[in-house]
Chain A
Amino acid sequence: MSVVVRRTIPQIIVALVIVLMVVFYFFYINADVSKGFTTADKALSDWAIVITAIAAIVGGIDILRYHVNQIRKREKRQIVFSCVVIVMEIVMVLLACYALYSGIAITTQPNFQWLYTYLYAPADAAMYSILVFYIASASYRTFRARNPPAVLLLIVAIIVMLGNTSLGAMIWEGFLPLRDWIYNVPNTAAFRPITMGIGFGLIILGLRLIIGKETTWMGRRE
């Protein structure tokens, strides 16, 4: 296929959808047209919802493919673990399909519910919470008063740590109000430029997509 079909048309569609959605949002001609705009705008949002759901399914299949390949390569240390991944993934999907076949909601299927409550949920919680050990270790290894900005960071962190817990109030009653003041004034002012920066970033990303400068979403280069 030509480059026009492979690259140019998808880029034009992207630009067109963005321009149309901006027009739908900002322009008002009359009540009937406005209603049409809103309907079309919502339809496009609904499309994204459906596409995202299918994309997540493709993501799950990617994991399956990766582990099937590991087994094919006969990686000695990995083969058993890859089998575990594949079996668990297939079991979960089969239970979901069985629920759909039985006409009940997937998340209420008893076996599916048991697996996500007692296996997935605690494992997920453990995976995320394991970071606490590295944060504690980092505070000991790297949290040092090397220069004036680091001294300020250290002082603020200690005040906030004392204000966050009952410990601070036992030493001095003022830690909580002081923490609140830091939160409401200097902290807000410090993060405001970052919030504005995100806004600028979103606008620039949209404009780059419209003019066809942003191409990373297209994946592999030709």
Chain B
Amino acid sequence: MAKEEKRKPFGMAHVLYTLLIISVALPLLYPVGLPIGISSTTKDVYNYIENTLPAGSAVLVDLYYEMAARAELEPQAAAVVKHLFEKNCKLVFVSTVTYGPIVFELLKSTASDVFAGKEYGRDYVFLGYVAGNEPAVRSLAESIRGTVAADNYGNSITDYNKLPMMRNIDKAEDFKLVFIVSSGTDTFGWYVRQWYTAHNIPLLFGALSVIGPSIKPYVDAKQAIGMLTGQRSAAEYEVLVGRKGLGLAAMDAQSFAHALILIFIIIGNVVFFATRAKPKPKEVGKK
């Protein structure tokens, strides 16, 4: 069947591709505004930041995601950062992947309302890209000043006139929470090993939908305080913090695309059982 379709200039697969694009694009152009419920896992994260995290705490935010993952992770990051800023938390952004500087700038421009009124150096700092993966995560836990000489914009970390918040923030123990927004699986393991196991610092995971299930055991074993999973959690968090962002905007399109894929799964199974029920030509001959 696959070979047959390859020969066709516009086969069944191409019909599916076209329908998929339409099913995603139409609800984005004409939003329906389907209601969404709040899951218990998202509520737990919100309650932790709201009730347990002390106001004014230092929080490390690792932005470890590539461009495509922005759609799922940027709304999460924006909603949580808004919540943290509302609690007057001091945020130290860092990235252990080369995309970091791009995604940080894009986050700032798309969530300009979140960063409005917050001053660079006093309320938040961006350390930029730090190479090295797990060793980088381990070094940052020991000492930020001992790992990077300057932030992403070339300001010295020890220049407290420009970065006053860094005066009291240097090592893992100075942070009350680490928010890891990552499109990879390994990143979460690095922080569990180098920040939670070695320094007992609470972690919050912001994962892609596809990554969430595989890192859930860490959350269940209380190695992280909670996890936000994909666009759905982002939409729920947006509802909780009262900020309409890409998460909520995407939910209608997600519903329509899922409906289309479900229909195709059903058609695929009906075709499968129908063709299986038919006796094969050889068997007909035998009879």
Instruction: Enumerate chain A interface residues (CB-CB to B < 8 A).
Output: 25, 38, 41-42, 44-46, 48-50, 52-53, 56, 103-105, 107-108, 113, 116-117, 120-122, 124-129, 132-133, 136-137, 139-146, 154, 158, 161-162, 164-167, 169-170, 173, 176-177, 179-180, 183-184, 187-188, 191-192, 194-195, 198
Partner of B189, one of A25, A50, A125, A198: A198
Which chain B residue has the least Cβ–Cβ distance from A187?
A: B213
Given contacts A48-B135, A108-B153, A191-B213, contact A128 B67 (CB under 8 A): yes
A194 to B105, CA, bound (A): 36
The distance from the CB of B225 to the nearest CB of chain A, in whole angstroms, is 15
Determine whether the beta carbon of A49 is less than 8 Å from that of B132.
Answer: yes
The answer to whether B147 has its CB under 8 Å from any CB of chain A is yes
Determine whether the beta carbon of A195 is less than 8 Å from that of B217.
Answer: yes
Given contacts A48-B135, A128-B66, A165-B255, contact A140 B265 (CB under 8 A): yes
Given contacts A49-B147, A166-B34, contact A183 B259 (CB under 8 A): no
Contacts of A162 in B (CB 8 A): 258, 262
A49 to B147, CA, bound (A): 9
Determine whether the beta carbon of B154 is less than 8 Å from that of A104.
Answer: yes
Taking residues whose C-beta sits less than 8 angstroms from the other chain, chain B's interface range is 35 or more
The answer to whether B170 has its CB under 8 Å from any CB of chain A is no
Partner of A187, one of B105, B138, B216, B262: B216
A41 to B232, CA, bound (A): 41
Q: Counting chain B CB atoms within 10 Å of each CB, which of A50, A165, A188, A198 scores highest?
A: A165
Determine whether the beta carbon of B216 is less than 8 Å from that of A188.
Answer: yes
Chain A proximity mask over B194-229: 1 for CB below 8 Å, otherwise 0: 000010000000000100111111101000000000
Q: Counting chain B CB atoms within 10 Å of each CB, which of A126, A143, A146 scores highest?
A: A143
A-B contact pairs, 25 of them (CB 8 A): A42-B146, A46-B146, A49-B130, A49-B131, A117-B105, A120-B102, A121-B102, A125-B67, A129-B71, A136-B264, A137-B16, A139-B261, A142-B268, A144-B272, A145-B269, A162-B262, A164-B254, A166-B35, A180-B39, A180-B40, A183-B212, A187-B216, A188-B220, A192-B220, A195-B218
A174 to B179, CA, bound (A): 30
Given contacts A137-B17, A167-B258, A194-B214, contact A125 B68 (CB under 8 A): yes
Determine whether the beta carbon of B213 is less than 8 Å from that of A183.
Answer: yes
In the complex, how many residue pairs between chain A and chain B have their CB atoms under 8 Å apart? 184
Given contacts A42-B146, A194-B214, contact A140 B35 (CB under 8 A): no
Contacts of B66 in A (CB 8 A): 124-125, 128
Determine whether the beta carbon of B41 is less than 8 Å from that of A133.
Answer: no
Contacts of B173 in A (CB 8 A): none
Determine whether the beta carbon of B267 is less than 8 Å from that of A140.
Answer: yes
Determine whether the beta carbon of A144 is less than 8 Å from that of B139.
Answer: no
Contacts of B102 in A (CB 8 A): 107, 116-117, 120-121
The distance from the CB of B163 to the nearest CB of chain A, in whole angstroms, is 14
Partner of B258, one of A124, A143, A164: A164
Determine whether the beta carbon of A49 is less than 8 Å from that of B216.
Answer: no
A153 to B66, CA, bound (A): 29
The answer to whether B251 has its CB under 8 Å from any CB of chain A is yes
Determine whether the beta carbon of A124 is less than 8 Å from that of B67.
Answer: yes
- B108-142, CB < 8 A from A: 128, 130-133, 135-136, 138-139, 142
Chain A proximity mask over B24-58: 1 for CB below 8 Å, otherwise 0: 00000000001111011100000000000000000
Which chain B residue has the least Cβ–Cβ distance from A173?
A: B37
Q: Counting chain B CB atoms within 10 Å of each CB, which of A103, A125, A136, A192 scores highest?
A: A136
What 14 additional pairs, Cβ within 8 angstroms, besides A25-B198, A132-B20, A141-B2?
A45-B138, A49-B139, A52-B136, A103-B154, A107-B105, A121-B102, A121-B106, A128-B68, A136-B16, A137-B13, A143-B269, A144-B268, A154-B269, A158-B262
Which chain B residue has the least Cβ–Cβ distance from A133?
A: B17
Chain A proximity mask over B237-271: 1 for CB below 8 Å, otherwise 0: 00000000000000110110011111011011100
Contacts of A44 in B (CB 8 A): 135
Determine whether the beta carbon of A52 is less than 8 Å from that of B131.
Answer: yes
Contacts of B71 in A (CB 8 A): 129
The distance from the CB of A142 to the nearest CB of chain B, in whole angstroms, is 8
A35 to B124, CA, bound (A): 30
A173 to B262, CA, bound (A): 19
Which chain A residue has the least Cβ–Cβ distance from B40?
A: A180
